[in-house]
Structure 1
């Protein structure tokens, strides 16, 4: 299992709506994430900057790279596009974060 982290950016004032939508995550999307080998997925917000910090664990044989081709993933991106910085296809602008320290 591997842990990865990345950063996204939330538009100003959108924290409550972003949180609400994630509390109501569609079961089909949650199932797709799990089927891709994703576990223990967390997203945190730095309210001062709007930075979203995400961590997740993924199986060695994960299929995360296939998620963008799934209709449910694309539908979720469209649904979330008004709340955050996105690419032209509505996928979130994601900045990978390098691991610097781990206390097991």
Structure 2
């Protein structure tokens, strides 16, 4: 099974370029943790002080987020972004879940 996750992250004013740069230079151990937790097809987009994320979670969102929270690098990463992301110290690093309303299922798709 796989679940799709869409989320929002609110950035502090004028922190967008730093947010982008941090992801250009993402720590290799953070990338490894993201993959090990079960995130797949993970993308981030940004418009001003709003970042939008999309990821596919295997086996499901709850399991992936719980596993991600067990990695020390996740806590270090969030702490390093405390001046970039509003509520970075909050649950799941400040991400706000966006409920899925509709999904186009293609014929012959395994979803």
- How far is the alpha carbon of 1:6 from its aligned partner? 1.0
Normalising by structure 2, what TM-score? 0.80
**SS at structure 2 position matched to 1:99:** coil
Q: Who wins on radius of gyration, i.e. which is larger?
A: 2
What stretches of structure 1 of length at least 5 have no aligned partner?
A: none
Q: Does the alignment pair 1:56 with 2:55?
A: yes
| Alpha-carbon distance in structure 2 between the residues aligned to 1:93 and 1:103 | 28
1:54-76 C-alpha deviation (Å, 9 max, x unpaired): 11011116533122232111110
Q: Runs in 1 of length 4+ with deviation above 6 angstroms? A: none
1:23-50 C-alpha deviation (Å, 9 max, x unpaired): 1111111001101111111111122xx2
| Alpha-carbon distance in structure 1 between the residues aligned to 2:80 and 2:92 | 10
- How far is the alpha carbon of 1:87 from its aligned partner? 5.2
Corresponding residue of 2:109: none
RMSD of the TM alignment (CA)?
A: 2.0
Q: 1:91 to 1:101 in 2, by over 3 A?
A: closer
| Alpha-carbon distance in structure 1 between the residues aligned to 2:97 and 2:90 | 19
Count residues with an aligned counterpart. Answer: 102
| Alpha-carbon distance in structure 1 between the residues aligned to 2:103 and 2:91 | 32
- How far is the alpha carbon of 1:100 from its aligned partner? 1.6
Does the 8 A contact of 1:78 with 1:90 survive in 2? no
